[in-house]
Amino acid sequence: MPHIRIRSRHQPFEIAVLVTAPVCGLLLIVLDVRPQSVELAMPAPIQVGWESGLILVGITGLLGVLWPGRLSTALGIELAAVLVLATLTGMYAVALTVVSGRQAVAAASFIAAVAAGSGWRSLEILLDLRRMVRASQLARADPLAAGGGR
């Protein structure tokens, strides 16, 4: 089987965000507080989904990063989490910008960077999964190339 390079699964910034997301979601729910931008820009059911989404994303993402089984399964779980994380953080960046305008430039920029980083990581995972599929197809098509005939 040809050598394929899978990007590092130990992404410190991604892991830091995935650890922080459920903590934030839990604190929002337990303390029954929300950022003013979220309260003003999102209807109540969307707020609940946003808060619980933070919890779900963090737990799911960490599960994918720590998955002990097949690499493709781990990457798929991680991909789902970072795609949703990109959506949730994008929602928050938009809410900040809509409600606070120029006053939210710093905060919205940092949150938008998390959304962009999540999107970037999603693309990396998709490319890794695609490489794995191609390598698997090559190995099935040419068993000698995979070392099966030696």
pLDDT in tens, the chain (150 residues): 556 666 666 789 999 999 999 999 999 999 999 999 999 999 999 999 999 999 999 999 999 999 999 999 999 999 999 999 999 999 999 999 999 999 999 999 999 999 999 999 999 999 999 998 988 888 788 766 555 544
Q: For the CA atoms of 35, 37, 42, 47, what is the dihedral angle to 10 degrees? A: -10
Q: Which of 20, 100, 32 is nearest to 61 (CA)?
A: 20
Q: How many helices (H) and strands (E) does the chain have?
A: 5, 0
Q: Vertex 140, ends 150 and 132: CA angle to 5°?
A: 110
The pTM for the full model equals: 0.86
Backbone angles phi, psi at 97, to 5 degrees: -65, -45
- Could you tell me the residue ranges of all domains in the chain? 12-141
